[in-house]
Structure 1
Amino acid sequence: MQLDRIDRKILQELQKDGSLSNLDLAERIGLSPSPCARRVKALKDAGVIGRTVTLLDPKALGLSLTALIHISMDRHTPDRFEHFEAEVANYPEVQECYLITGQAADFVLKVVVKDMDTYQQFLLGKLTRLEGVTGVQSSFVMRRYKDSTELPVPEEYPIA
């Protein structure tokens, strides 16, 4: 799908506020509601727009500790990685999980919890008990400088 100027504006506005009504979105981008709705549907059908979510403020929920955890595995096999990923997907504390390269670790997790005691319970009660985990290195976020879910919308590149 090739994005034009209007598609890019739609994507930029929806990334800022995914709860916009079609009427409000159409007004912001200077389009009438019917063509706006058709474009949004086409972007969804093409897979450019995924799911719509509501972002919560961790601090407002009492979740004041964010940890970035590097995980090392004992074996680098598809089965071992798939098992780890399937287990971690069930942990609500884990916001993000990446299989990485270029480091001593195999995975990086972003974990959000209430406090250090809760982190310790998560680490010792869940994470280090997973089959294949041989090393854990944790870093703790002191301050969020930028926390964005918005992606740059390319002008010159078609979306596959």
Structure 2
Amino acid sequence: MQKELLTFQLKSVRGWIKYHLEDTDDDLMDIVPAGFNNNLHWQFGHVIALMESELVRLLGKNDDVEKRFKKYFGTGTSPDDFDDETPSVDEIKTLLDQQQKEYGGLSEDSLKEPLPEPFMGMKTSYELAGFVILHEGLHAGKIQEMKRLLENQY
């Protein structure tokens, strides 16, 4: 039952994020709006980065994608650090769907596993999964704000 709720929540927030990604003019992706320290490209990539870390931990999958996304979109990074190796918006689009499918493959038991060490008071994978989804919702709101601002300016 816990997995079903989390899967539904992820589907909902990912739907919102994917809508904004598909609905955003490519010319706006790399503009840092006044008052912000990153751009839409960074926001979409940041969502991928945190979820990828969780999928690596929970599924034991290869961490190459996680490392690349943390390098460019992890906490404390900036679009100022983007280069020719920065994951593209097209790669982000692909991973939004792929991660959702991978998450759907988690077992209920894997979500009950204790974290290697508590994180912000959370002790189980289930609690952390809820946080990851909340995090995506927060960034979906930020994406919507930035997009609206940019559309009115450009």
> Structure 1 length as normaliser, TM-score?
0.27
Q: Which has the higher helix share?
A: 2
Q: Which has the higher strand share?
A: 1
> Structure 2 length as normaliser, TM-score?
0.28
